[in-house]
Structure 1
Amino acid sequence: MKKVWMLLLALCFGQLVFSQNEKTTHSHFNKGKSFWGIGISPVYSDMMGSYTDISITKGNTNLGILLAPMYGKFVQQNWMIGVMGIAGVHTDRRSYLTYPITIGPGPSLPNVDTKNIDNSLDIGIAPITRYYLPLNKRNSTAFFLQAALPAVYSKSNNTLRYKYASGAVDEFNYQYDQFSLRGSIGFGLSVQGKFGSFDTHVSNMGWFLSFNKLISKK
């Protein structure tokens, strides 16, 4: 439900910022047009461990950003071919008390200060293509289908640290590396305006919110 409300809020924001008067007909999807853009992903996906996040509470801190720069060019009316980059980092730090590990009956021992730290890094590139279906004659709003071939390198590191009342410290580390190359199919909605376009799209790469700017020819 949270994702649905965020999507509706994003669409309303796009309509508010980019909607123009009824006389404006946009030419964003014409053959030969090109654009650059920048997007963020606010949710975790099965391909990437990083996402845009700011959350600080007692004993728990989550910070991260996942950026997706993009370049696209329309090779035919409504048909775009381009490339999207992926660069993200995320850290999750949790502090809490745990019971010490004991075997058999023994004296009552104090709780152990525990820290669990997860760090994620994602770097990738994705050739991408879209076909836009304008929803009105002014081309102010369009639905699009999307296909991509993302290649993503992901690295995650987990550190579990125990600090005992005696001052002794135990630390355990786990590292995971993965390279993924897989096909991706998704869909999205684009809102065009005077200053560019705002779009939101979903696929197995995740959910992205993007702003795109047309490149003016000199």
Structure 2
Amino acid sequence: MTVNTIPQLKNLNEISDGIHKRWIWGSTENYHKSCDYLQKINYSIQDLNAAINDGLTPSMKDIIFVIALVDWIKEACECLEKTLIPELVQGFTYQNEDQLGSAKKYFTAVRSFVVAHPLSTNRHRAYGLDGSRICVDIRGNFSLRCLSQNSDWYHLGMDGMQANAKELPFDFVLYIYDRNHHDMQFFQYVGCDFADIFQVAELYIDRLYLLSKYLGKQKKRDWI
């Protein structure tokens, strides 16, 4: 999948009324918080879809913009669920929970490396980020790709950091230094895909839809 073929994210227009029940939040304050979280999610989806419609580009501006919005969706979805009456959620299961867990770990690593802690990311060893690599630039293309060595190329995806990845397709490139190679005198390159980042948002939105459907079946008399 390329930048030009990324599908629109599903908005919240068709979500069931389950998520809008007042009693499931336990208090008026929590209900109002839930409305704020849902608004944040929906606005973030709208902004991401607008970026796709306008022609998403692999520029630093768009890359950071997309990561920030997906992070807002992720955080708002997690905060929303924590605001519910705790016992209510115990019976809810999501069939793609393992996939969502992997996507969350991947996204947390990417966000840290690209936006939050580019010079010191060291808590994501499963994704090759143990503190030895630092991200110094983000670029949408690599015109001198043919002149670089395969060993200088990596690809960062849901499955982790793949080495010798010069021939793999990518949407944008992270320019990095590795403290363990070349005395940090030469760049190495990490290719990344927008589709992986958008998939994180898709999974959170899908889970929210199913959570709302589950809540719609719950009866106040059984819990309060």
TM-score by length of 2: 0.25
Bigger strand fraction: 1
Q: Larger Cα Rg: Structure 1 or Structure 2?
A: 1
Higher relative contact order (CA closer than 8 Å, sequence separation 6+): 2
Bigger helix fraction: 2
